[in-house]
Amino acid sequence: MSGGLRRLRGLPLRSRLALLVAVAVAAAVAAVAVTCWFITRDQLYGQMDNNLRTEATSVKPQQLQFILATCHSETSPGSQGFPGPTVQIIQSDGTACTSPTDSKIPVQSSDVAVANGTSDSAAHTTEAEDGTAMRVVTLPAVDGDRNRLPQAVSIASPLHEVTKPLTTLAWVLLLVGGIGVLGATAAGLWIARAGLRPVDKLTEAVEHVARTEDLTVRIPVEGDDEIARLSASFNSMTASLASSRELQQQLIADAGHELRTPLTSMRTNIELLTRSEETGRAIPPDDRKALMASVKAQMIELAALIGDLQELSRTGLNGSDGPLKVVSLHDAVRTAIERARLRGPELTIEAELAPWYVRAEPAALERAIVNLLDNAVKFSPDKGTVEVRLMRGTLTVRDHGPGIPADELPYVFDRFWRSPSARALPGSGLGLSIVARTVQACGGEVALAAADGGGTVATMRLPGAPTPPPEIP
């Protein structure tokens, strides 16, 4: 059984479907044929029994007397008899008298019971003395006045009157069933070929993508059945992969471009210092100090850029990949404020925080809040004020710096984008991009806008609740 299942699984899907259809049709045809054969057999036997009963009730007393008179005689085969079924008289003691022209039929106990008057009728199948299969019906014998006699009349007819048409019917059913199974197999192959044509297209597309890595392949979606949904899912998958590849390529290109500038500047400064050492020409102390400060600043910029790239890689191109947990947003903001105060000790940070709990990846959310505050600290004037407010899931961070021009606001969350006025300041251009992706992964939204009276206000909205859930996963 297991070997047959393994061989079946080894067949192509199209062949398996055709085989299953053929087996199902064969089973249905066989069930119908067998049922039809048994119903026909019962009908034929019933009709024969009715005919034999009619013959038995129509036997006349003179026929009975003739049979009784001749059953022990030496009548030759050509002697006068009665045409039709075999007639046999059964006595109450079980003896039987049969016309010499007919083959004797064995008497059974049910026939004797009819002769004794303990049964009204009997019907059975047996073999006559000459080996002919016979169908026998036994009824009580009656006289001319329809009075019951202590005898029984058995009427027998050759069974081939029933078995011959049944045999013919069996061959007809077998032939028709075979034709039906062959037709079902052909239909199954055609149905499987037509039904699996979209799967073939999908397979060809998958093999093409695996062979060429061409993610622009799309499969036509027809209808709304399972195959159509599978095709739509494949198209969506390839589109997502293509978008992810484009984002990765763009990230690599942008990172390469951003890394090239500080590396080039650092290389130039280091070459100047190295040449000074090799040639013995000393660089003036002030110029040497400026070169060293420039190298140090470029190293800091490179470290910040690499850190932001690592963070972007850890959280993914489209959001956070870490496990989500229930996070106390007000506590995360308070922690970020303490870190911001260390970076800008001369600044005043005013905070008004109401409790709010969100579902997020804790480290990514804290990094996003820190980036918003660092952005505000970086652009705030000396001894300026940064206002932080958290009310019902809306966090606002407002600085009093130079602000962002309106035509630059649509680009502030793009990777590596930096305002022309801020390119002289340290930074990688990835901070706000990381903020946007983290907030989107939490189901929230973030925006920057010009603040009334000058400066910039950053607004972050996250779904949540003012109280934690009963059970924190």
More confident residue, 46 or 209: 46
**d(C-alpha 448, C-alpha 1), whole Å:** 69
Residue 126 lies in a domain: no
Residue 60 lies in a domain: no
Does one domain contain both 443 and 346?
yes
User: In sequence order, what are the residues at sequence separation of 6 or more whose Cβ sits closer than 8 angstroms to the Cβ of residue 460?
Assistant: 368, 369, 372, 394, 395, 396, 397, 435, 439, 444, 445, 446
Distance of CA 64 to the CA centre of its chain: 79
Q: Which two tokens stand for residue 409?
A: 């606001």
Q: Which domain holds residue 431?
A: 319-465
226: left (phi over 0), alpha (psi -120 to 50) or beta: alpha
Last residue of a domain, one of 297, 312, 327: 312
Residue 377 near residue 344, CB atoms below 8 Å: yes
Does one domain contain both 396 and 272?
no
- Taking the CB of residue 80, how many other CB atoms lie within 10 A of it? 9
pLDDT at residue 76 above 60?
no
Does one domain contain both 382 and 417?
yes
Does one domain contain both 242 and 357?
no
**d(C-alpha 384, C-alpha 349), whole Å:** 9
Q: Beginning with the edge strand found earlier in the chain, give each strand of the sheet holding 445-450 in spatial order.
A: 348-353, 385-391, 394-398, 456-461, 445-450
User: In sequence order, what are the residues at sequence separation of 6 or more whose Cβ sits closer than 8 angstroms to the Cβ of residue 123?
Assistant: 49, 52, 135, 136, 137, 138
Residue 155 lies in a domain: no
Backbone φ and ψ for 141, nearest 5 degrees, come out as -85, 145
- CATH number, domain containing residue 456: 3.30.565.10
- Give the angle subtended at the CA of 396 by the CAs of 392 and 400, to the nearest 5°: 155
Residue 448 lies in a domain: yes
Last residue of a domain, one of 312, 327, 351: 312
Does one domain contain both 419 and 288?
no
Does one domain contain both 324 and 451?
yes
| Number of domains the chain is built from | 2
More confident residue, 167 or 10: 167
Does one domain contain both 449 and 328?
yes
CB-facing half-sphere around the CA of 157: CA atoms within 13 A: 21
Residue 80 lies in a domain: no
Residue 405 lies in a domain: yes
pLDDT at residue 271 above 80?
yes
Q: What is the mean pLDDT of residues 347-374?
A: 86
Confidence of residue 62 (pLDDT cuts 50, 70, 90): low
Does one domain contain both 395 and 451?
yes
Does one domain contain both 427 and 453?
yes
Q: Max alpha carbon distance in the chain (Å)? A: 159
**d(C-alpha 76, C-alpha 74), whole Å:** 6
Residue 296 lies in a domain: yes
Does one domain contain both 331 and 252?
no
Confidence of residue 193 (pLDDT cuts 50, 70, 90): confident
Does one domain contain both 275 and 347?
no
Confidence of residue 292 (pLDDT cuts 50, 70, 90): confident
Q: What is the mean pLDDT of residues 78-84?
A: 49
Q: Which helix (H) or strand (E) holds 387?
A: strand 385-391
Residue corresponding to tokens 């400060």: 293
Does one domain contain both 236 and 337?
no
- CATH number, domain containing residue 269: 1.10.287.130
Provide the whole-model pTM: 0.44
Last residue of a domain, one of 281, 312, 343: 312
- Residue 257, classed as helix, strand or coil, is helix
Residue 472 lies in a domain: no
